[in-house]
Structure 1
Amino acid sequence: MRTHKYTITGMFCDGCRTKVEKVLSAMEGIEAVVSLDPPVATISMQKPIQTSQFQEVLAAEGKYSIKVFNANDLKLPIKEAVVELPKNAAGKYYCPMFCEGEKVYEEAGDCPVCGMDLVKAPDLESSKTLFTCPMHPEIEQDHPGSCSICGMDLVPLEPKDSEENKAYNELWRKMKIALLFTVPIFIISMSDMIPNNPLLKILDTQTWNWVQLVLSLPVVFYACWMFFTRAWKSILTWNLNMFTLIGIGSSVAFLFSLVGLFFPDVFPDEFKTYHGTVHLYFEATTVILTLVLLGQLLEAKAHSRTSGAIKELLKLAPTEATLVIDGEDKLIAIHAIKKGDLLRVKPGDKVPVDGKITTGESTIDESMISGEPIPVDKKINDAVIAGTINGNKSFVMVAEKVGSETLLSQIVQMVNSASRSRAPIQKVADKIAKYFVPIVVLASVLTFIVWANFGPEPALVYGFINAIAVLIIACPCALGLATPMSVMVGVGKGAHTGVLIKNAEALENMNKVDVLITDKTGTITEGKPSVEKVFSTDNKDNELLKYCASLNQYSEHPLAQAVVQYAKLKETSLIEVNDFEAISGKGVVGTVANNRVSFGNKSLMEQVGASISADLEAKVIAEQKLGKTVSYIAIDTVALGFISISDAIKETSVAAIKELIKQGVEVIMLTGDNENTAKAVAEELNLTSFKAGCLPEDKLNEIKRLQAEGKIVAMAGDGINDAPALAQADVGIAMGTGTDVAIESAKITLVKGDLQGIVKAKNLSHAVMKNINQNLFFAFFYNVLGIPIAAGVLYPFFGILLSPMIAALAMSFSSVSVIANALRLRNVKL
């Protein structure tokens, strides 16, 4: 057989490695061994097989790719995989630990890798609202109206219990059953500590042992049976986790108790009480399992809160709207709105969908989007956003974005993806858990051996108790919560302050950013340029303006719109343009009144071969040194003038850049504007450095250069031309006031659209990463500290031992600590 090595990409956990190995080995005549770190497959084959055939079978199983192994691959930095749910996951089930990546299941159940309960992915669109009569609940319909029986207005029907609440309620029901039977077992067991044990006056010790067995059965075989199932699966797949330790520890205690109850004579005397019965551990088994169940209950509550936050966002959109049709108002359900519909928004109503005002004006509370409490004045042609609240005037709007296209729906999608994505730091926790479990099992075995051979009598009893205590206290139950809880709360905090984070990787990387690349127009500046001067070398200012505005009426660039707006104010009539062409990063050209007109920067003048006089050049430079953006106007091959445009720097830009530099971040401005204008802005803001005249590919190449130097680069931009650079950057930051393409390419979106949001994102990232590290500390601190205590190292000096029940309590307390610590992020100041 021939043996070859291949590099596999797309694997990020042992579940992936196992899947890839099985898929490859299932091919005829193939034997495959796959490692995760490094991600290499060693394949033995009886006959040559093309790499494309391997790729075909792997692609059918997930986003895996394969190529012939190259030793240089191992020298490249491996980008951590980030797991997010696919967009079509709504209503399906996934493992909260992402053992199989983004794989989802149609039905509820257990994860085949780790055994955790699968969680239902939330619907990211509000479900169709049903309306019912408050007096006649049997009347239901999917649109507003009146009751056919009594004539009352129908009201929205309360939604039914969610899947998350069902899961939580099921666990709570099991918790109540576990408590109902565990508490009596605990009382019976602890009664020996009461002088003149009153229970022995009712029944003897052996009979009470039988009572404990009967009471423990519902706890072990119903309420907490899932933990044994998960432990067994973890051993079969060798994905060792906290359930491995729980299952081994409680199984040993329970089986020991069964043998002790049914066959007491097989045990030496040191295992027996002074009543002649074997000391049993039904109470340790049930108390431990009940405490673990409590941890699962808290985790289920955390998941329901994640979905609850999404549902609260969905509730921001109204359930109905007023459609204006043929001059009359008609109440319709929100899902019945179509693009182009005219909708009336009355005082105090929520805006139903995204659109523009066509009639009337009002003030709108947009705090749910921008975080700013002051209402915003809106007039005809101004955009309005779904979920925002109208003031005290009525207006009519046209629906432009409906359903999942609205900004509110996009926010919901981003919050959901980020809340349920995994930060790269989670991989560290997964690796720790993989090696931690077998080390703990070994520590437990060594504890028993040491106590059995060197401990005081009854040595075997001491050894057994301490070995179980080691297994229980070492269980890293909180490990599964450490990262996702912080990410969930942090993403929610960010959304509340106008910082929308797409995934946990962006949240983690933002903390490492040491270089910020920023665009100028619309990012540092207001992005609302206005014409200050039109200059013509032959005093034909009005004619040049007419030509230039006519040409720019076909462009969507902010500078072009400023020219058109200025022409309208001057009551300049526009004329038809032929052969219009927009040249990215340079300007526009076209034929106006049989003249070839060019409007743009100096690079465009050079491209079209237009000559620039020394006098005109001097005047342009003088304007640029004042921080103005100047565009040349050329007719045919001669530059005949220019238009000077100003774009005010945002008030927040100065403070934001000062704070970022103070935090050790280099701030570099890359702009398509000229050298003089860029220099004026850079000096005013005290930027680290700047580059002018940048085309989209220049920004992209500059980011690649910085990354090659080992820098972690964030890019802030707002235009379509920024999209490639935003996608290349380690963290792309889009202004919410920018284009949809830029927002889609970025990993963080700033709703308000100013650099102060980057400071907030940086502070939030730092707070979240600090919180995650604290959580990982809490997840292991009790365990690592408790293992030697549980093993009995303090006994020779202080006579201190840790019972399995106290160990289980300490283990559960680590989960409570993680949850409480993560929730502190809600109060962090950004």
Structure 2
Amino acid sequence: MKHDDMKMHDMHDMDHDHGDMMMHGGHMMHMGNLKQKFWVSLVATIPIIILSPFMGIKLPFQTTFPGSDWLVLLLATFLFFYGGAPFLKGAKGELAEKNPAMMTLIAMGITVSYGYSLYAFIANHFLATQTHVMDFFWELATLIVIMLLGHWIEMNAVMSAGSAMEKMAALLPGQAQVLDQDGQQHAVDLKDLQEGQTVLVAAGEKVPADGLVVNGQSQVNESLVTGEAKAVAKKTGDQVIGGTVNGDGTLTVKVKGTGESGYLAQVMKLIKQAQQEKSKVEGLADKVAKYLFYAALVAGIIAFISWFFLADLNTAFERMVTVFIIACPHALGLAIPLVVARSTAIAATNGLLIRNRQAIEVADQITMVLMDKTGTLTQGAFKVNAVQPTGEMSKTQLMAYMGALERHSSHPLATGILAYNDAEKITMSQAENVQTIQGIGLTGAIEGQTYQIVTADYLQEKQIAFDTAAFETLAAKGNSISYLIQGQTVLGLVAQGDQLKPEALTFIKALKKRHIQPVMLTGDNQQVAEKVAQQLGGMTVQANLKPEDKEALVQDYQAKGEVVLMVGDGVNDAPSLTRADIGIAIGAGTDVAIDSADVILVKSNPNDIMHFLNLAHATSRKMTQNLWWGAGYNILAIPLAGGLFAAWGLILSPAIGAILMSLSTIVVAINAMTLKLKN
């Protein structure tokens, strides 16, 4: 098996369990079946609550029976190792990265609770202690259950079942039909396919790898991979991309790219790299948890040293443990998940699906929005505004030839030409061997002669003479212009205009009001892009772009210190969507683009982006408020619990600390539910 093939399949295998993973502290933490862990832990917690005291106080509903303390010990031990496992693993990862955060704070709380409670159990049952040593089994159980609930709420709100790389891998077939030297056909697993082998791709099958057509011709659907024309003619000598779907012909293909050398693998690699870089962004809750961890650690050590000299070892130990346990982030653990759950529910009712919590936290920092022209700012419904043949060719013949080629494409410009021909009842010629010229147009044969539909940039690049004055005049009116050529001769042009979306102008104005720079990305010519930008009140334009230029632009802007939001819809947009600080996919786009994005627009309405920014602003404000409520309790309780102000009669008992902790959690929950979207 080739190394490259192995790596490509490893990507798929690695990402298969993505639904059970979540981001924390700059790393992916495997949460296992979080829902199951929560319910099992809740069942184990109920008898602990009934059988053990609350911070040393026996509540009215609590009871005991002979051996009940042993049952509590067994259930608490099970909870610590089963329910606490995700947090212990997460803390291990955070400490390995020298970046303690929420997982470390939780792990410290449950470890100290369990360890001290185990000591208390041994002291009360097997050591000759004069006083009863208070345990914290009740607090251990409730902390684990609340933290599991918080993380389940958050993961359930923002995660989807799929992933970008899983959808990428799903584009490829499981096997390929390889032809040996004798022409015999046999099935080979895709992971065993090697460069130089020849494969047979039957009608309707997926192309197994990048390669060169050595025999046959067919129409190949490339839309899921490149976002370009749906039907692309392929014949001997043409290149095909792994993952595309063969039409009604049979192709014999010589494999040129497998594993990491293939197009899909390259896109997957870009997505993976961008995901890794984005995962380094530290969430607000993790930053707060980091400071609380250090604060609790320092306060606990100071409390231990102080009380060791002021009282005795047992008192010093108990004070330190009380500090660590009161520092447990019950409210902090729910502060963000509850807001996220409320926010995602509001977003869904407004045509937004939020898949990444960090997108909400980053939204207020956005300085640039990069977006396509066609379909985002314009309606994507082109209308023929001018037909200008040259020489002896008539308008009807020009449109018949162009229609013959364009009916092999689903590009919006092709749709406009075909609609014109239907309206004018023009009978189109028959074209053969039609194929797409990436970023340029089409080529094909009509009545034995080769014709091409190209752009003005192509004509200038190939130094083919054309009427530049006519081009300037038509382009200045916002038209996209296509030329029909034969060899080095221009036979005529068709100018088509697109209509702005009614809400586009409002959207651009709203961005500027927020001091966010809008940037138009288009494969169209500079004049058309500038005309559209002028109609929208002016904006930065990046024209004549090919699909691979987009990610490079995102990186360039980020390198200049810009915080970038990217809007896209195709597989070729997936690396850019992932690379951007926030990626927004249009709901009508491909699965890969959608799974690469942080936010999905159910409708292709640019104003929904403003709804997201407004909701994100309101959500961030609620997060900050909840973090202050959650962390504020800890900031006040930690020094009081440690007895650092005992000389002034200020000392917080564990019971009072627990009551304040519960009140803080209730306030956080109520505050989260008051989140609303103001348009």
| Mapping for residues 380-419 of structure 1, pairs under 5 Å | none
Which deviations, in whole Å up to 9, do the C-alpha atoms of 1:108-129 show, x marking residues without a partner? xxxxxxxxxx5417xxxxxxxx
Determine the C-alpha separation between the residues in 2 that align with 1:599 and 1:524.
25
Q: Note closer, same or farther for the CA distance 1:304–1:733 as it changes in structure 2 (3 Å cut).
A: closer
Other structure's SS at 1:629 match: strand
Partner of 2:440: 586
Gaps of 5+ in 1: 1-54, 64-83, 104-117, 122-163, 191-207, 267-277, 315-339, 341-420
1:280 and 2:132 aligned: yes
Determine the C-alpha separation between the residues in 1 that align with 2:662 and 2:503.
46
**From 570, 593, 597, the counterpart of 2:424:** 570
Determine the C-alpha separation between the residues in 2 that align with 1:502 and 1:254.
41
Pick which of 805-814 and 300-309 moved more. 300-309
Q: Once the 2 structures are TM-superposed, how far is the Cα of residue 666 of structure 1 from its aligned partner? A: 0.8
Q: Which is higher, the Rg of structure 1 or of structure 2?
A: 1
Q: Once the 2 structures are TM-superposed, how far is the Cα of residue 93 of structure 1 from its aligned partner? A: 6.2
Q: Note closer, same or farther for the CA distance 1:801–1:460 as it changes in structure 2 (3 Å cut).
A: farther
- Contact in 1 for aligned 2:367/2:563 (Cα 8 Å): yes
Partner of 2:303: 447
Determine the C-alpha separation between the residues in 2 that align with 1:673 and 1:59.
37
Partner of 2:187: none
Pick which of 495-504 and 787-796 moved more. 495-504
- Contact in 2 for aligned 1:498/1:750 (Cα 8 Å): yes
Pick which of 568-577 and 760-769 moved more. 760-769
- Contact in 1 for aligned 2:373/2:521 (Cα 8 Å): yes
| Mapping for residues 636-655 of structure 1, pairs under 5 Å | 636-655=487-506
Which deviations, in whole Å up to 9, do the C-alpha atoms of 1:44-67 show, x marking residues without a partner? xxxxxxxxxxx99x999x98xxxx
Determine the C-alpha separation between the residues in 2 that align with 1:307 and 1:441.
29
Q: Once the 2 structures are TM-superposed, how far is the Cα of residue 532 of structure 1 from its aligned partner? A: 2.9
- Contact in 2 for aligned 1:422/1:504 (Cα 8 Å): no
Partner of 2:142: 294
**From 525, 543, 546, the counterpart of 2:378:** 525
Other structure's SS at 1:696 match: coil
**From 489, 499, 510, the counterpart of 1:659:** 510
Q: Note closer, same or farther for the CA distance 1:595–1:747 as it changes in structure 2 (3 Å cut).
A: farther
Partner of 1:177: 47
Q: Note closer, same or farther for the CA distance 1:718–1:785 as it changes in structure 2 (3 Å cut).
A: same
Partner of 2:559: 708
Which deviations, in whole Å up to 9, do the C-alpha atoms of 1:490-532 show, x marking residues without a partner? 4444344322344345444444321122221111100111223
**From 653, 658, 661, the counterpart of 1:808:** 658
Which deviations, in whole Å up to 9, do the C-alpha atoms of 1:272-311 show, x marking residues without a partner? xxxxxx44344xx2xx432443343344445665687799
- Contact in 2 for aligned 1:669/1:691 (Cα 8 Å): yes
- Contact in 1 for aligned 2:520/2:540 (Cα 8 Å): yes
Determine the C-alpha separation between the residues in 2 that align with 1:176 and 1:573.
78
Partner of 2:677: 828
Q: Which amino acid aligns with 1:681?
A: V
Partner of 1:244: 108
**From 120, 124, 133, the counterpart of 2:33:** 120
- Contact in 1 for aligned 2:283/2:361 (Cα 8 Å): no
Q: Once the 2 structures are TM-superposed, how far is the Cα of residue 626 of structure 1 from its aligned partner? A: 2.3
Which deviations, in whole Å up to 9, do the C-alpha atoms of 1:728-785 show, x marking residues without a partner? 5443333233455654554433221122122233334434444444444444322222
- Which is bigger in relative contact order (C-alpha 8 A, separation at least 6)? 2
Q: Once the 2 structures are TM-superposed, how far is the Cα of residue 572 of structure 1 from its aligned partner? A: 1.2
Pick which of 254-263 and 807-816 moved more. 254-263
Q: Which amino acid aligns with 1:664?
A: H
Q: Once the 2 structures are TM-superposed, how far is the Cα of residue 649 of structure 1 from its aligned partner? A: 0.5
Which deviations, in whole Å up to 9, do the C-alpha atoms of 1:664-700 show, x marking residues without a partner? 2111213222333222211111233223333334444
Partner of 1:542: 396
| Mapping for residues 357-506 of structure 1, pairs under 5 Å | 424=280, 426=282, 437=293, 440-441=296-297, 443-451=299-307, 453-454=309-310, 463=316, 466-506=319-359
Q: Once the 2 structures are TM-superposed, how far is the Cα of residue 536 of structure 1 from its aligned partner? A: 3.0
Which deviations, in whole Å up to 9, do the C-alpha atoms of 1:411-436 show, x marking residues without a partner? xxxxxxxxxx9965556765775785
- Contact in 2 for aligned 1:422/1:505 (Cα 8 Å): no
TM-score by length of 2: 0.68
- Contact in 1 for aligned 2:359/2:598 (Cα 8 Å): yes
Other structure's SS at 2:482 match: strand
- Contact in 1 for aligned 2:630/2:664 (Cα 8 Å): yes
Determine the C-alpha separation between the residues in 2 that align with 1:280 and 1:643.
92
Determine the C-alpha separation between the residues in 2 that align with 1:534 and 1:215.
90
| Mapping for residues 328-339 of structure 1, pairs under 5 Å | none
1:101 and 2:28 aligned: yes
Q: Note closer, same or farther for the CA distance 1:800–1:638 as it changes in structure 2 (3 Å cut).
A: same
1:89 and 2:89 aligned: no
Pick which of 643-652 and 590-599 moved more. 590-599
What count of residue pairs does the alignment treat as equivalent?
A: 549
Other structure's SS at 1:525 match: coil
Percentage of pairs with the same residue: 28
Q: Note closer, same or farther for the CA distance 1:811–1:733 as it changes in structure 2 (3 Å cut).
A: same
**From 600, 614, 621, the counterpart of 2:472:** 621
Q: Note closer, same or farther for the CA distance 1:188–1:746 as it changes in structure 2 (3 Å cut).
A: closer
Partner of 2:607: 756
Which deviations, in whole Å up to 9, do the C-alpha atoms of 1:167-211 show, x marking residues without a partner? 544444333322322369966699xxxxxxxxxxxxxxxxx9xx8
Determine the C-alpha separation between the residues in 2 that align with 1:743 and 1:723.
8
Q: Which amino acid aligns with 1:447?
A: A
Determine the C-alpha separation between the residues in 1 that align with 2:92 and 2:593.
43
Q: Once the 2 structures are TM-superposed, how far is the Cα of residue 793 of structure 1 from its aligned partner? A: 3.9
Gaps of 5+ in 2: 96-103, 163-203, 205-276
Which deviations, in whole Å up to 9, do the C-alpha atoms of 1:553-588 show, x marking residues without a partner? 112211012101211221111211134332222222
Other structure's SS at 2:524 match: coil
Q: Once the 2 structures are TM-superposed, how far is the Cα of residue 544 of structure 1 from its aligned partner? A: 1.1
Q: Note closer, same or farther for the CA distance 1:724–1:589 as it changes in structure 2 (3 Å cut).
A: farther
- Contact in 2 for aligned 1:468/1:804 (Cα 8 Å): no
- Contact in 1 for aligned 2:27/2:279 (Cα 8 Å): no
**From 570, 587, 595, the counterpart of 1:736:** 587
- Contact in 2 for aligned 1:491/1:500 (Cα 8 Å): yes
Q: Which amino acid aligns with 1:547?
A: Y
Determine the C-alpha separation between the residues in 2 that align with 1:531 and 1:717.
26
Q: Once the 2 structures are TM-superposed, how far is the Cα of residue 648 of structure 1 from its aligned partner? A: 0.9
Other structure's SS at 1:690 match: strand
- Contact in 1 for aligned 2:41/2:145 (Cα 8 Å): yes
TM-score by length of 1: 0.56
Determine the C-alpha separation between the residues in 1 that align with 2:572 and 2:509.
26
Determine the C-alpha separation between the residues in 2 that align with 1:467 and 1:309.
37
Determine the C-alpha separation between the residues in 1 that align with 2:65 and 2:406.
86
Which deviations, in whole Å up to 9, do the C-alpha atoms of 1:451-482 show, x marking residues without a partner? 45447xxx778656544432321223455555
Determine the C-alpha separation between the residues in 1 that align with 2:325 and 2:590.
54
- Contact in 2 for aligned 1:295/1:815 (Cα 8 Å): no
Pick which of 775-784 and 519-528 moved more. 775-784
Which deviations, in whole Å up to 9, do the C-alpha atoms of 1:126-172 show, x marking residues without a partner? xxxxxxxxxxxxxxxxxxxxxxxxxxxxxxxxxxxxxx3x6544444
Partner of 2:72: 219
Partner of 1:631: 482
